[in-house]
Chains A and B, each alone.
Chain A
């Protein structure tokens, strides 16, 4: 069975005065297997962030179901949603969402503290993570004292530390310069090799080229998919570029 299964997801936004409704998602179905590294691409407004928010249980779909590891998200009660997210999902945000009031270390501990874990156990987990993520020296610093790339690495550590079933990333390189982006993508590849499943939303071809599969979303539906197979990153980049060109032409042709 797949780790994540999205079936016919629809999301309709009503405008405020009950006028015309906007369909952000018009029946998106796909599956993610355990250990996969999936990128979702699409232009802005294509509904990819809406999709990610629904998978992350930050938002409810109008129709359709999301099943994570056999659990149906819609069956989770509202009051348990936060706990569900904390225990099962690791989320990496475009704008990091680190808290200014905490040092990086405490930011990373946050989900564990919320889960009521003991201080020693948390320390052990962080020790295992800090070295591969390259944030060992930064832990005592505060978010406003470090660079964007360092912040995002801390955010990745925060997503990983709960040992989630799936890591969801929303434009993780969006606020980073190219060098930091590359470092972060290397990190994601490394994390994926360690066995974590990653679902990433991006519109950067460079970021998507590191994934094992790329899904294209346009106008609220899954339009196209590319599997890496044995291709190198460079070949993958080419494939994606071609697909995007095709997509753009096709779109214009309509």
Chain B
């Protein structure tokens, strides 16, 4: 036999079935592109350094896992349906004398071509779309773009590897389907309806259990960032559960509808229910894919749109005053308190020079140690140089000591604290007993000031690391207890923080200018003193950053949603078109028996109504379950506005539902045109 025979056979087969292969190929390309984009955003580091960038990066990394699983499930079913339609052809080859091995080779080359086209096309599409995103950023937002797009080899490589593995599995599955059937089985396969899965009830119960477990985990997660693995597990369980439940459920639903004679034997329902029954597994898988895509769209859109619309609020939370200065130094030093006062005086003087009034002044210093907090005891093991990758976020806490006199003066209280006592407050959900031990020094908790923590640090709720605020007598004496704690490099664990915030009564652009001046000033003063960190920032100057970041995220959400939507359209189109070609001859017969065009129209509509709502209802349910997690994630970006999130979700559901129904109508029209 001539070389190149099998590749040619494979290519011919694909070309002749172009009607079915073209949408399949486009689907593959989309899936590869989506994977690439997720991997690119998750691993290229372009989102580092923006507010909440860590969260977004982690989400994208999780997205790559989810897209791998989804791609596998989704392409498996699409391809299985494709092979099914071609079994007759393979049966014929096999009658004409091809053995299993020969057929396997044809299938191998077909998968190889699909793989090559899909990865090449997908990578080009992915890279193109990320460029598009870049253009979108610059167009949408007039501030300088902070993301530059490149083509990281790592993402390209991972995409190719992942999809090679997926296509390898797909190839094995198609060889299994074709290779292990007798020629006659293959020839008649198209006629026989799909058999219900053998253990349908088991499948249903399994799906139910998986979905339930996923929901349970999702609802129990308190700290999404520390429980990222759990979150991923929940998402995967929900996905698998959706597939199993919808596959088993659609069989059960069809059976029930068929049993109900008064429903089944109606002109509208008769044809639709029976053809749903005929291809029930595929139907369920298709619905589940649509449902998962819709869920992803809804989650992305509702979270990014509420961030975008709530950017101002996030800004206010993080930068409560017009101007703020901040300094940080590790290690104990007697002179720091005086330095703080000098710094304060210098900055205020510079501000007055600028014509600013000093309003709502909040200037104070604090001592801080961090470590693992268990059972009301802090084990001091962390500082800013710790490798945070190995930190168990569930147990971490940062202790902030503030002197009671400073506290009373700055925040206007009249508290008294004796040595060995403390007022304690936290914005996070941490259990604190009547006695709290920091290092080896115990403090008696005389009063909780949880509701006043926001005054000290407006971002207390946002920070990934939970803070515990302790108001103590003679804070410098307390701090001395912690001088001896050092890390492996001998660097001190104790940190001194100085913070100064005030409003100016200046015009917005002057506020930004003032912050610039102060920033230069504070750096000039503190750089020589070997400070670990110092800066001055203004509410106004940060606005651009916030808007560009959240606008960028929103745009990204839109872009990814659009891709998912297109995938959704392709699935529906593919489903309707392939079913349409299958049903063509059936409707032909039915017209001969006396089915009118209206009957066809009505039965198509009935099918649409029966299956239309299922994916979107399930997607809404999924959204409702993950919304609490989304809310907690948004808190890390500084958004606490739950009503806004709910409103955004509702709007997204409505828009999505509308778009979805338009698509459904259009694709069912395509189906109608084919069959009538």
Roughly how many angstroms separate A3 CA and B20 CA in the complex, as a whole number?
Answer: 49
Minimum C-beta distance from B255 to chain A (A): 13
With the chains together, A80 CA to B369 CA distance in Å? 87
Interface residues of A in 107-129 (CB under 8 A from B): 109-111, 113-119, 122
Whether the pair A101, B586 counts as a contact (CB closer than 8 A) is: yes
The reply to whether A100 and B267 contact each other, CB–CB distance below 8 Å, is: no
Q: Are B597 and A142 in contact (CB under 8 A)?
A: no
Tell me, in angstroms, the Cα distance from A98 to B589 when the chains sit together. Answer: 8
Residues of A within 8 A of B (CB): 58, 79-80, 82-83, 85-87, 91, 93, 97-102, 106, 109-111, 113-119, 122, 142-144, 158, 162
A144–B188 contact, CB under 8 A? Answer: yes
Chain A min CB distance to B190 (Å): 8
| Known A79-B596, A82-B595, A142-B192: A116·B267 in contact at CB below 8 Å | yes
- Asked whether B261 lies within 8 Å of A100 as measured between CB atoms, the reply is no
8 other contacts beyond A82-B597, A85-B594, with CB at 8 A cut-off? A79-B596, A85-B592, A86-B593, A101-B271, A106-B274, A111-B593, A113-B270, A158-B593
| B47 CB-CB contact with A under 8 Å | no
Interface centre among A58, A113, A115, A142 (most CB of B within 10 A): A113
**Complex Cα–Cα for A210 and B9 (A):** 51
> Is there an interface contact between A101 and B592, defined as CB atoms closer than 8 Å?
no
* Interchain CB contact under 8 A, A142 and B592: no
- Shortest CB-to-CB span from B636 to chain A, Å, is 52
Point out the residues of chain A lying under 8 angstroms from B598, CB to CB.
79
Most chain A CB atoms below 10 A, which of B266, B278, B589, B599: B589
- B182–chain A nearest beta-carbon distance, Å: 15
Q: Given A99-B590, A101-B275, A144-B188, does the pair A110, B596 have CB atoms closer than 8 Å? A: no
Nearest CB in chain B: distance from A123 CB, A: 8
How many Å lie between the Cα of A91 and that of B278 in the bound state?
25
Question: Bound complex: CA of A43 vs CA of B263, how far in Å?
Answer: 47
Q: How far is the CA of A91 from the CA of B591 in the complex (A)?
A: 12
B193 beta carbon closer than 8 Å to chain A = yes
Inter-chain contacts of A97 with B (CB < 8 A): 589, 592-593
**Hey, which chain A residues are within 8 Å of B274, CB to CB?**
99, 101-102, 106
Q: What distance in Å separates the Cβ of A66 from its nearest Cβ neighbour in chain B?
A: 17
Q: Chain B contact residues (Cβ within 8 angstroms of A): what range?
A: 20 to 34
Shortest Cβ distance from A116 into B: residue: B267
- Asked if B191 is at the interface of the complex by the 8 Å CB criterion, the answer is yes
| B265 interfacial contact with A, CB 8 Å | yes
Taking a contact as CB atoms under 8 Å apart, the answer to whether B265 and A91 are in contact is no
Interface centre among B264, B278, B590, B592 (most CB of A within 10 A): B592
B270 and A106 within 8 A (CB):
yes
Cβ 8 A contact of B595, one of A114, A122, A143: A114
**Contacts A99-B589, A100-B192; is A110 near B261 (CB within 8 Å)?**
no
Asked if B262 is at the interface of the complex by the 8 Å CB criterion, the answer is yes
Residues on the B chain within 8 Å of A85, using CB: 592-594
Report chain A residues within 8 Å CB of B266. 113, 116
CB distance from B193 to the nearest CB of A (A): 7
When the two chains form their complex, are residues A109 and B265 in contact, meaning their CB atoms are under 8 A apart? yes
Q: Which of chain B's residues have a CB closer than 8 A to the CB of A82? A: 591, 594-597, 599
Distance to closest chain B CB from A244 (angstroms) = 30
What are the residues of chain B within 8 A of A116 when measuring CB–CB?
266-267
Contacts of A101 in B (CB 8 A): 193, 271, 274-275, 277-278, 586
Which B257-303 residues have a C-beta within 8 angstroms of A?
A: 261-262, 264-267, 270-271, 274-275, 277-278
* Cβ distance B116 to chain A, nearest Cβ, rounded Å: 36
Contacts of A80 in B (CB 8 A): 596
Give the complex CA separation of A93 and B275 in angstroms: 22
Q: Are the CB atoms of B265 and A111 closer together than 8 Å? A: no
A-B contact pairs, 8 of them (CB 8 A): A86-B593, A87-B594, A106-B270, A113-B267, A114-B590, A114-B596, A119-B265, A143-B191
A85 and B593 CA atoms in complex are apart in Å by 7
Partner of A99, one of B192, B267, B586: B586
Contacts of A100 in B (CB 8 A): 191-193, 278, 586
A98 proximity list for chain B (CB < 8 A):
589
Interchain CA distance A106-B590 in the complex, whole Å: 12
In the complex formed, the residue of B with least CB distance to A103 is B274
Prevailing SS type, chain B contact patch: helix
- For B261, give the chain A residue with the smallest CB separation: A119
**CB-CB < 8 A to B270: which residues of A?**
106, 109-110, 113-114
* Residue-wise interface mask of B (242-264) relative to A, using a CB-CB cutoff of 8 A (1 in contact, 0 not): 00000000000000000001101
Pick from A87, A114, A118, A143: contact of B267, CB under 8 Å: A114
Residues of A within 8 Å of B277, CB to CB, are 101
A142 and B590 contact, Cβ closer than 8 Å, known pairs A101-B274, A110-B270: no
Please report the C-alpha to C-alpha distance between residue A113 and residue B193 in the assembled complex, in whole angstroms: 21
Q: How far is the CA of A162 from the CA of B594 in the complex (A)?
A: 11
Chain A residues within an 8 Å CB radius of B192: 100, 142, 144
B262 close to A119 (CB less than 8 A): yes
B191, A144: Cβ atoms closer than 8 Å: yes
Query: A79: which B residues are within 8 A, CB to CB?
Result: 596-598
Inter-chain CA distance A85–B271, complex, in Å, is 19
Contact A58 B590 (CB under 8 A): no
**CB proximity of B462 to chain A, nearest CB, Å:** 57
Residues in chain A near residue B264, CB distance under 8 A = 119
Q: What is the bound-complex CA distance between A144 and B184, given in angstroms?
A: 12
- Roughly how many angstroms separate A119 CA and B29 CA in the complex, as a whole number? 48
- Please measure, in the bound complex, the distance between the C-alpha atom of A118 and the C-alpha atom of B589, giving whole angstroms: 22
A55 to B651 alpha-carbon distance, docked (Å): 58
B594 engages A113 (CB within 8 Å) = no
For A87, the chain B residues whose CB sits under 8 A away are 594
* B150-207 at interface with A (beta carbon < 8 Å): 188, 191-193
Chain A contacts for B595, CB-based, 8 A: 82, 86, 114
What residues of chain B lie closer than 8 Å to A117, measured between beta carbons?
A: 265
Nearest chain B residue, comparing its CB with the CB of A96: B589
The 5 closest A-B pairs by CB, nearest first: A86-B594, A119-B261, A82-B596, A101-B278, A97-B589
- By a CB distance below 8 angstroms, the chain A residues around B592 are 58, 85, 91, 93, 97
Assess whether B191 is in contact with A91, with CB atoms less than 8 Å apart: no
B258 vs chain A, min Cβ distance (A)? 9
B193, B275, B594, B597: which contacts A114 (Cβ < 8 A)?
Answer: B594
Give a binary string over B332-369; 1 marks a CB under 8 Å from any A CB, 0 the rest: 00000000000000000000000000000000000000
Chain B nearest CB: distance from A3 CB in Å?
19
> What are the residues of chain B within 8 A of A115 when measuring CB–CB?
594
Q: Are B193 and A83 in contact (CB under 8 A)?
A: no
Select from chain B the residue with minimum beta-carbon distance to A122. Answer: B265
* Residues in chain A near residue B599, CB distance under 8 A: 82, 114
Interchain CA distance A225-B23 in the complex, whole Å:
57
A224: min CB distance to chain B, Å: 30
A109 to B265 alpha-carbon distance, docked (Å):
8
CB distance from B202 to the nearest CB of A (A): 25
Query: How many angstroms between the C-alpha atoms of A106 and B259 in the bound complex?
Result: 12
Among residues of B, the one whose C-beta sits closest to the C-beta of A117 is B265
User: B591: which A residues are within 8 A, CB to CB?
Assistant: 82
Using Cβ atoms and an 8 Å threshold, which residues of chain A touch B191?
100, 143-144
Please, which residues of chain A bring their CB within 8 A of the CB of B597? 79, 82
A113 and B265 contact, CB distance less than 8 A: yes
CA distance A101 to B278 in the complex (A): 6
- A111–B594 contact, CB under 8 A? yes
- Which residues of B, 586-627, contact A by the 8 Å Cβ criterion? 586, 589-599
CB-based nearest B residue for A145: B192
Return B88 CB to nearest CB of chain A, in Å: 13
Min distance, Cβ B607 to any Cβ of chain A, angstroms: 12
